[in-house]
């Protein structure tokens, strides 16, 4: 095979791979318990950290309590792993499990 053709194909593949790694945005209000508990949109830790920051921001609380974050994350994950809660939006689950509004 012609080396110029091979080089051209490799360059095209490399350039198209870069384009495929576009940034993804997620609407947190639409994440379901099923998606959260089974890491379908992002890792449990990532979503739990974002939720913690969101609710802390709403309350004007700039403090990060890593132990409390871990405990709340475990409670939320346990709640969301129940099949009857799979369709519940995770933000509603937070309000039910942790009483955050």
Position 4 in a domain: no
CB atoms within 10 A of CB 81: 14
Position 88 in a domain: yes
Structural domain containing residue 53: 30-101
Q: How many domains does the chain have?
A: 1
Position 7 in a domain: no
Position 1 in a domain: no
Locate 51 and state its tokens: 């939720």
pLDDT band at 19 (very low <50, low <70, confident <90, very high): very low
pLDDT digits 0-9 by tens, 30-72: 999 999 999 999 999 999 999 999 999 999 999 989 999 999 9
pLDDT at 99 (0 to 100): 85
Taking CB atoms within 8 Å and a gap of at least 24, the contacts of 78-85 are: 79/33, 80/33, 80/34, 80/36, 80/37, 81/33, 81/37, 82/33, 85/33
Position 5 in a domain: no
Position 73 in a domain: yes
Taking a C-beta distance cutoff of 8 angstroms, is the pair 41, 27 a contact? no
Position 54 in a domain: yes
Count CA within 13 A, CB hemisphere, residue 43. 3
Position 19 in a domain: no
pLDDT at 25 (0 to 100): 87
pLDDT band at 24 (very low <50, low <70, confident <90, very high): confident
What rounded mean pLDDT belongs to the chain?
85
CA distances (Å), origin 24, targets 27, 42, 99: 10, 11, 30
């Amino acid at each position: 095979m012609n080396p110029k053709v091979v080089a051209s194909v490799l360059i095209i593949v490399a350039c198209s791979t870069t384009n495929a790694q576009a940034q993804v945005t997620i609407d947190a209000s639409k994440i379901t318990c099923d998606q959260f508990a089974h890491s379908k949109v992002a890792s449990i830790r990532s979503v739990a950290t974002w939720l913690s920051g969101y609710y802390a921001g709403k309350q004007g609380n700039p403090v990060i309590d890593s132990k409390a974050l871990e405990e709340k994350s475990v409670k939320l994950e346990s709640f969301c792993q129940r099949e009857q809660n799979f369709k519940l939006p995770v933000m509603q689950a937070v309000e039910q499990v942790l009483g955050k509004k």
